[in-house]
């Protein structure tokens, strides 16, 4: 029983952390799409012009149109996913230690990690995007 609980706990923790990485990607990507910058700007304007930025809506819209996106945008998204994997590897232990009681969603774990920025491991601090100002 003890081994199953530990395994289940680790699995749940991993799921939470995967949600953190996804939130970080959506959090940073949504702003870039909404600001009309970068390799996905034209795609965002074309496919998501009526989408209200925030809450991951722009990123979801882009995901809904992923088959229609330009090659440059698809490459950018691929790079963002790779960055998410790097953040996961660098920050997993920090998230489990510093934010274990934070309910995932709406960027809450990303905010938690940024609130504890001085306590993060050097590798995590280097990979973690700065929190958005004024949000």
Is residue 75 within 8 A of residue 90, CB to CB? The reply is: no
pLDDT the model gives residue 120: 95
pLDDT the model gives residue 28: 54
pLDDT the model gives residue 105: 74
CA 9, CA 15: separation in Å to the nearest integer?
10
pLDDT the model gives residue 17: 59
pLDDT per residue over 39-64, tens digit each? 888 998 899 989 888 777 888 888 89
pLDDT the model gives residue 10: 47
Instruction: Work out the number of other CB atoms within 10 angstroms of the CB of residue 110.
Output: 27
pLDDT > 60? residue 82: yes
CA 91, CA 99: separation in Å to the nearest integer?
11
């Amino acid at each position: 029983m003890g081994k199953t609980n530990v395994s289940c706990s680790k699995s749940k923790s991993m799921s939470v952390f995967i949600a953190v990485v996804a939130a970080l990607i959506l959090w940073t990507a949504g702003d870039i799409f909404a600001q009309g910058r970068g390799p996905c700007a034209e795609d965002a304007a074309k496919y998501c012009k009526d989408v209200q930025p925030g809450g991951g809506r722009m990123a979801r819209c882009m995901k809904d149109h992923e088959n229609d996106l330009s090659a440059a945008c698809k490459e950018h998204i691929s790079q963002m996913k790779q960055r998410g994997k790097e953040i996961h590897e660098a920050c997993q232990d920090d998230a489990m230690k510093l934010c274990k009681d934070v309910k995932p969603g709406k960027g809450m774990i990303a905010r938690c990690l940024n609130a504890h920025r001085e306590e993060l491991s050097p590798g995590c601090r280097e990979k973690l995007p700065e929190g958005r100002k004024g949000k």
